[in-house]
Structure 1
Amino acid sequence: MDPRVAVVILNWNGKCLLEKFLPSVIKSSYDNLQIIVGDNCSTDGSVDYLNLAFPTIKVIQSDKNYGFAEGYNKILSQVEADYFILLNSDVEVPENWIKPVIALMESDDQIAAAQPKIKSQSDQSKFEYAGAAGGFMDQYAYPFCRGRIFETIETDTGQYNDSIEIFWASGAALFIKSNYWKKARGLDADLFAHMEEIDLCWRLKNLGYKIMFCPDAEVYHVGGGSLNATNPFKTYLNFRNNLIIMQKNLSSSEAFRMIFIRFLLDLVALLNFLAKGEVKFAWAVSKAHFDFFKNFSITHKKKSDVQLPYSEHIGMYHKSIVYQYFIKKIKHFSRL
């Protein structure tokens, strides 16, 4: 029998997204499958709609909005399966999107997590920002993807149709073995949202496990469903959380050196926001730094017991992606 798989969709006031995309998930061809919607205390009638329109779907309700990270922690603590699939509510799926990824993960006990190819729902010829063909990190822990570097998104021509080990798998469609989810203790609730899947994958890699990309399955993501790029809070979370996951997952000596460099690079970003008159975004960067230091001791207590040398991780790019992209004008992953 195929392993038990639970597709878990976290919802917060996303009734319109459930109406549009949940039917495609229900049509998934995988046999040993349970579909669960975890509701983060929605006020838009989402739960009533689910109970009426999809009575066979299990709904688990939370008492308040816990955000992406803690929301999933609370829901998945109530789910029994061999594999969890964390699926965003704004993702459309074809019928056979599960089995190829599960087959890949079943082939190696050391594979803890994986992602399918993630493409744009509005233009399915292109990759999508949040994941594309697998996540990587540069020498200063800037995340980027095969198929997406900063704001440049590539057309999928089959150039990344190889199954490879990556640094991080996207939370938009994250496949993870439930025993490794529990071993890593799930997502870090203090991150709230953004980069929480990178932190999880980094912790798994420090434990010696693999994160994989499966090109034989693809999903179609709308993106920006919770926070879009014009929201300063997203800027705040990205800058703050990037520093937090570096402190947690790097050795103390590596963390000191790399965070110092990142502060200098973040200062350039802050000044650039000010030069463009984007004061709210400059303030978001400043607040991110302030809150990082404010919670430094709390984060320190959560450091991984084991930190493998950063440069030895597969999926780590040994140059600066900022320099390659903005100075050398290299926009595509295949040209790095």
Structure 2
Amino acid sequence: MSKVAVVILNWNGSEMLRTFLPSVISYSAISGVDVYVADNASTDNSVSVLTKEFPSVKQIILDQNYGFADGYNKALAQVEAEYFVLLNSDVEVTEHWLEPMITYLDAHLEVAACQPKILSWRNKDSFEYAGACGGYIDRYGYPFCRGRIMDVVEKDNGQYDDILPVFWATGASLFIRSSDYREAGGLDGRFFAHMEEIDLCWRLRSRGRELVCIPQSVVYHVGGATLKKENPRKTFLNFRNNLLMLYKNLPQNELRYVMFVRGMLDYLASLSFLLKGEADNAAAVLQARKEYCALKEEFKLSRKNNLNKNSLQVIPEQIKNSILVLYYLRGKRSFSQLDKFLPNK
């Protein structure tokens, strides 16, 4: 069994492999580390590119496109390592990116997973939207990051270079103990893509396991390489999966109130899209709510199992306020302005 398995899930991304895989190979060439590419039934020339141009990379060939969530579940079932690194195919890593995370997890057995500092590949002095320096969540399920509040992305001036507990670590570069991944049941394949890593981290955190960001490790992420931010399919998956995640993980005394408020906020979001001329995104929000209602029965057992295994009723990294209120009504535009709302700060 290797120490670390870096696993990149690929779907029709041969050009991204050519662009980003060389840095992964070069900077992961340390003892005990294996690099894998798991191909999600690509129809381009990804497999031939891997075979001819990157012979040192181990291949896992999946028989169909299982999406991000179950694609990783299927791939990691074929890998034996102490630590898994789930790495997006559009990530450029840097020298010594693995060592700080290995060292920290080796020394902190209470920590299940961590992530590096995620900077934008296009604007390398700024944080990247989807991960930044670690993820948090508000009472109503809206995620935000240390370095990104709503659509405001901060420049990296070293202001978040301390190691800090987080609510969730991004799936763009998720470093996780294989034992924790498997004990928690992995990513929820029913999500297909989007929110699955936050759901997994919520399960881990509720069970008393910790998650941190290790800013001494740095990677650069393109982001939005599979589905662009304004894509209605992405809007649908984000809203539907967020609702399913809330249903699966919210404590019983929070469920009714939070889901009632979320219903109102979702209808406001749909109206906002419509007023901006984005009718497809407006419809996607409504379709997401409709499918959530249809799927809720299927998730009842998952909710019961999660609540039975929980040891933390209050998670310090979840703010009890609304990030929408803090952003739009109180003018909080940076993570550092949220100090008093985060008990662990």
> How does the TM-score come out when normalised to structure 1?
0.97
Q: Which amino acid aligns with 1:20?
A: T
State the 1:97 CA deviation.
0.2
Alignment match, 2:343: none
Instruction: Find the residue that maps to 2:309 and give its secondary structure.
Output: coil
State the 1:24 CA deviation.
0.2
CA distance in 2, matches of 1:306, 1:60: 32
Q: Give the 3 Å change call, closer, same or farther, for CA 283–308 of structure 1 in structure 2.
A: farther
State the 1:30 CA deviation.
3.0
Q: Give the 3 Å change call, closer, same or farther, for CA 7–248 of structure 1 in structure 2.
A: same
CA distance in 2, matches of 1:292, 1:199: 15
CA contact (8 A) 1:30 1:99 kept: no
Instruction: Find the residue that maps to 1:27 and give its secondary structure.
Output: helix
Q: Does 1:329 align with 2:328?
A: no
State the 1:306 CA deviation.
2.9
Matches within 5 A, 1:116-265: 116-265=116-265
CA contact (8 A) 1:249 1:307 kept: no
Deviations 1:5-57 (A, max 9, x none): 00000000000000000000001253210000000000111001100011121
CA distance in 1, matches of 2:268, 2:11: 35
CA distance in 2, matches of 1:211, 1:3: 22
Instruction: Find the residue that maps to 1:302 and give its secondary structure.
Output: helix
Q: Does 1:306 align with 2:305?
A: no
CA distance in 1, matches of 2:320, 2:301: 28
Q: Which amino acid aligns with 1:6?
A: A
CA distance in 1, matches of 2:186, 2:311: 20
CA contact (8 A) 1:250 1:309 kept: no
Identical-pair percentage:
48
Query: Is 319-328 or 6-15 further displaced after alignment?
Result: 319-328
Query: Is 143-152 or 299-308 further displaced after alignment?
Result: 299-308
CA distance in 1, matches of 2:11, 2:335: 34
Alignment match, 2:17: 18
Alignment match, 2:95: 95
State the 1:308 CA deviation.
5.0
State the 1:166 CA deviation.
0.4
CA distance in 2, matches of 1:83, 1:276: 44
Instruction: Find the residue that maps to 1:114 and give its secondary structure.
Output: strand
Alignment match, 2:3: 4
CA distance in 2, matches of 1:39, 1:205: 30
CA contact (8 A) 1:168 1:201 kept: yes
CA distance in 1, matches of 2:34, 2:309: 34
CA distance in 2, matches of 1:52, 1:277: 46
CA distance in 1, matches of 2:276, 2:173: 35
Instruction: Find the residue that maps to 2:226 and give its secondary structure.
Output: coil
Question: Which residues of structure 1 form unaligned runs of 5+?
Answer: none
| Count of aligned pairs | 334
State the 1:318 CA deviation.
2.6
Alignment match, 1:110: 110
CA distance in 1, matches of 2:124, 2:171: 19
Instruction: Find the residue that maps to 2:302 and give its secondary structure.
Output: coil
Query: Residue 319 of structure 1 is aligned with which of 311, 318, 321?
Result: 321
CA contact (8 A) 2:208 2:310 kept: no
Q: Does 1:49 align with 2:49?
A: yes
- After superposition, the CA RMSD in angstroms is 1.3
